């Protein structure tokens, strides 16, 4: 039987199917599907009870937010001050979102109940007996197996991914911040936080645009240099004239075996003002006794330093990618090019590079996205330094590290949520546009 549509069931179904919108499972009960009908009816009863007990209350508080503050009351009998239990808007927001999610789940069940009633109606009109509960269960392990297997992970995604995301996004439209002492009680402020972040006239806005520009510059350099240098390294090692290829690959990939956390912390210690690098330079007379190279104290030095160190961390991954691709380029293409008189440079530009870009475009998009969100390299290496007095963001802070500082260190939760949303939008647009314009998407058969 064809898949039944909800609106078709409501418009063309009989009175019992239409009433199933109000009394879930009625159509199933009337047509002999007792267990299924009772299940739908039980879910409706549970939802109504939830709404009557706490659901409507939570939704109303979610809409209004705010609340009653904790008050100090003098107890004449005990001769002490006592504190009344005030509201916590964080819980209002959380419980309200949970109520909305429960309501959406109930709507899904309602649609399923109406469609199920209409399916039973159609079977009766066709002279067939409606499916029994046992037959429905049997179908779950047969043609509807995908529904059975996908339901538990989908519920997990809703509870542990979608709900927290909605919760964090909601914060962007509130006054939830240490500013104005709104960590316990806060209200909806609409788009004021977005205006504050995107306006150059505000303190946060100036920091945002500076961090955004540096984040894009960092991502472009980190991605392109890693790819280009890793590709050159891979081509050199993959040459027929290069001996001990396995040894050279082992040397460069060795840095992958060391945890990135350890590598970055070692680099940070070595490049510090009293680190090994500056000590060695002083010992050989390159620097004065009290002089140090400003690896993390000068903005330009710090930015170049994190880019260079990121090459050490990232090139081995590109080398592994490129090595696999180079070994899979058909040798016939190179032989045909040599027969036609093409030299090494022409072969690279006409065969090797197009093939590699075709295969690695999704990888490059992933790398670019990863570099925009590259928390480890920046936070563990420079910590965002240098930081001007009074600024919330350092000269090497990315949007992701600045977001961390705003929320964890400064407790500007609303501003952090806004930056998180903007970062997501930027990454989504860049990734989708780039991929849709790439040969990997538009011409999948090109290199088959």
Model pTM? 0.83
Q: How far apart are CA 263 and CA 380, in angstroms?
A: 10
Asked if the model's pLDDT at residue 446 lies above 60, the reply is no
Phi, psi (deg, nearest 5) at residue 201: -70, -20
Region 150-175: mean pLDDT is 92
Asked if the model's pLDDT at residue 70 lies above 70, the reply is no
Q: Kindly report the average pLDDT of the chain as a whole number.
A: 89
Q: How far apart are CA 435 and CA 441, in angstroms?
A: 6
Please choose, from the candidates 263, 255, 257, the residue with its C-alpha nearest in 3D space to the C-alpha of residue 376.
263
Q: How far apart are CA 378 and CA 308, in angstroms?
A: 12
Residue 157: per-residue pLDDT:
92
Q: How far apart are CA 28 and CA 115, in angstroms?
A: 10
Please choose, from the candidates 358, 324, 322, the residue with its C-alpha nearest in 3D space to the C-alpha of residue 441.
358
Q: At what angle do helices 34-50 and 89-125 cross, to 10 degrees?
A: 160
- Tallying the residues shown for the chain, one arrives at 448
By DSSP bridging, strand 80-83 and strand 72-75 are antiparallel
pLDDT in tens, 393-416: 999 999 999 999 999 999 999 999
Q: Taking a C-beta distance cutoff of 8 angstroms, is the pair 1, 9 a contact?
A: no
Region 132-140: mean pLDDT is 88
Residue 445: per-residue pLDDT:
56
Three-state DSSP class for residue 295: coil
Model confidence band, residue 308 (pLDDT cutoffs 50, 70, 90): very high
DSSP 144-187: THHHHHHHHHHHHHIIIIIHHHHHHHHHTTB--BTTTTBSSS--
């Amino acid at each position: 039987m064809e898949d039944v549509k909800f609106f078709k069931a409501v418009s063309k179904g009989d009175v019992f199917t239409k009433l199933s919108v109000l009394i879930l499972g009625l159509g199933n009960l009337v047509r002999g599907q007792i267990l299924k009908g009772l299940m739908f009816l039980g879910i409706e009863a549970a939802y109504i009870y939830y709404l009557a007990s706490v659901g409507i209350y939570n939704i109303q508080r979610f809409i209004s937010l705010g609340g009653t503050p904790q008050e100090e009351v003098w107890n004449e009998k005990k001769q002490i001050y006592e504190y009344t239990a005030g509201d916590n808007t964080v819980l209002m927001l959380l419980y309200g979102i949970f109520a909305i999610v429960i309501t959406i789940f109930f709507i899904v069940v309602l649609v399923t109940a109406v469609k199920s009633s209409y399916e039973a109606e159609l079977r009766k009109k066709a002279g067939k007996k409606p499916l029994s509960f046992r037959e429905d269960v049997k179908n779950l392990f047969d043609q509807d197996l995908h529904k059975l297997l996908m339901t538990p992970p989908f519920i997990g995604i809703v509870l542990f991914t979608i709900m927290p995301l909605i919760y964090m996004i909601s914060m962007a439209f509130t006054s939830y911040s240490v500013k104005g002492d709104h960590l316990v009680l806060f209200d909806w402020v609409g788009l004021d936080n977005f205006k504050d972040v995107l306006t150059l006239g505000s303190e946060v806005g100036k920091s945002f645009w500076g961090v955004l520009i540096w984040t894009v510059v960092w991502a472009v350099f980190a991605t392109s240099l890693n790819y280009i240098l890793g590709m050159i390294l891979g081509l050199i090692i993959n040459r027929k004239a290069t001996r001990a290829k396995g040894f050279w690959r082992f040397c460069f990939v060795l840095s992958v075996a060391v945890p990135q956390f350890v590598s970055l912390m070692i680099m940070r210690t070595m490049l510090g003002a009293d680190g090994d690098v500056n000590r060695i330079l002083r010992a050989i007379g390159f620097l004065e006794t009290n002089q140090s190279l400003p690896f993390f104290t000068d903005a330009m030095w710090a930015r170049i330093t994190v880019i260079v160190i990121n090459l050490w961390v990232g090139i081995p991954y590109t080398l592994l990618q490129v090595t696999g691709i180079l070994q899979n380029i058909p040798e016939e293409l190179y032989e045909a090019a040599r027969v036609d008189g093409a030299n090494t440079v022409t072969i690279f530009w006409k065969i090797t590079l197009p093939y590699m870009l075709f295969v690695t475009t999704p990888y490059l998009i992933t790398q670019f996205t990863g570099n925009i969100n590259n928390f480890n390299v920046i936070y563990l290496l420079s910590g965002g330094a240098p930081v001007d007095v009074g600024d919330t963001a350092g000269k090497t802070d990315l949007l992701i590290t600045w977001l961390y500082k705003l929320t964890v260190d400064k407790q500007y939760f609303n501003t952090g949520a806004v930056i998180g949303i903007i970062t997501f939008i930027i990454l989504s647009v860049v990734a989708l546009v780039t991929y849709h314009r790439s040969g990997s998407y538009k011409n999948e058969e090109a290199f088959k």
